[in-house]
Amino acid sequence: MCRFLAYRGEPVFMDSVVCAPRHSLIQQSLHAEEAKVATNGDGFGLGWYGERAEPGLYRELRPAWSDENLLSLCRLVRSPVFFAHVRAATGTATMRANCHPFAYGKWMFMHNGQIGGYGQVRRRLEAMLPDTMYDARAGTTDSEIVFLLILMRIEQGEAPVEATANVLRAVKNFMQSAGVTEPLRFAAALTDGDTITAFRAACDERPPTLYVCERPDATIIASEPLDSDRSCWREIPKGAAVTVGPQGVHVEELFWSVAEAA
């Protein structure tokens, strides 16, 4: 399990969102309050959009809380759309290439959760990848495969919510075929640099936490509210997708129900 945040709004110095709040993501790297584990010290990542279509990535295998480079970068760089993620590994190695967010072309993705029995379905998932994406994998996480499978469907013409729902459905089917009893739990965010789509789903009653905060200047999606002013933070329902784009914030409830799919 991990913790993350996604920002879309007026270009701000990233430290105002990533580092400064009382319960900032850096604080959550040491003291997460609503996660299965309190410590998210298995690397971190920051991905941001600037003047180019492709995002910049800064990922490191050491914990976020002790990284001076991260503070410096967040203090100096303004961005209108950025992701930040602190990782608690669930079985794969602590290395940069396994840190979120992942980027591919203009797209960026990060994930919090797990694919139960991943070892039993990995091969079938990787077999679905087209050659270019098969070769694009840089790490060894389930999250990177899911990202690439979603992109594959987007490139085939599906919308982000539809593509993600379809990938999760396929994952769930593979898990059932393989007799996996561990759950699929999935909170994630995906963006093309303009619109952010976030997801909260699970095939049991324990989806990873996810909140959205709409302010006049910006919308923030985060695993845990960043500050004590809880009035702004609204829990994203299980099974919902939230789209944050030029047309504002839109919640689609029940974009995908594992129960129904089952």
Q: Does 89 bind a copy of itself (CB under 8 A)?
A: yes
Q: Does 23 bind a copy of itself (CB under 8 A)?
A: no
Interacting span for a copy of itself (CB under 8 A) from 95-103, 144-152, 185-193, 229-237: 95-103
Amino acid at 73: L
Other CB atoms within a 10 A radius of the CB of residue 38 amount to: 14
Which CB sits closer to a copy of itself, 140 or 195? Answer: 140
Size of the site for a copy of itself (CB under 8 A): 45
Pick from 53, 72, 204, 254 the residue near a copy of itself by CB under 8 A: 72
Encoded one letter per residue, x for contact with a copy of itself by CB under 8 A and - for no contact, window 124-163 reads: -------x--xx-xxxx-----------------------
Cα distances from 166 to residues 16, 34, 161, 262, in angstroms, run 36, 28, 9, 13
Q: CB of residue 134 vs a copy of itself: minimum separation in angstroms? A: 6
Between CA 141 and CA 125 the distance in angstroms is 12
- Judge whether 2 counts as a catalytic residue: yes
Instruction: Tell me how far the alpha carbon of residue 164 is from its chain's centroid.
Output: 12
Q: Does 50 bind a copy of itself (CB under 8 A)?
A: yes
- For 48-69, letters b (16+ CB in 10 Å) and e give bbbeeeebbbbbbeebbbebee
Q: CB of residue 160 vs a copy of itself: minimum separation in angstroms? A: 23
Q: CB of residue 129 vs a copy of itself: minimum separation in angstroms? A: 9
Q: CB of residue 120 vs a copy of itself: minimum separation in angstroms? A: 9
In contact, 148 and 107? CB cutoff 8 Å: no
Q: Does 177 bind a copy of itself (CB under 8 A)?
A: no
Number of H helices, E strands in the chain: 8, 13
User: Which residues are part of the catalytic machinery?
Assistant: 2
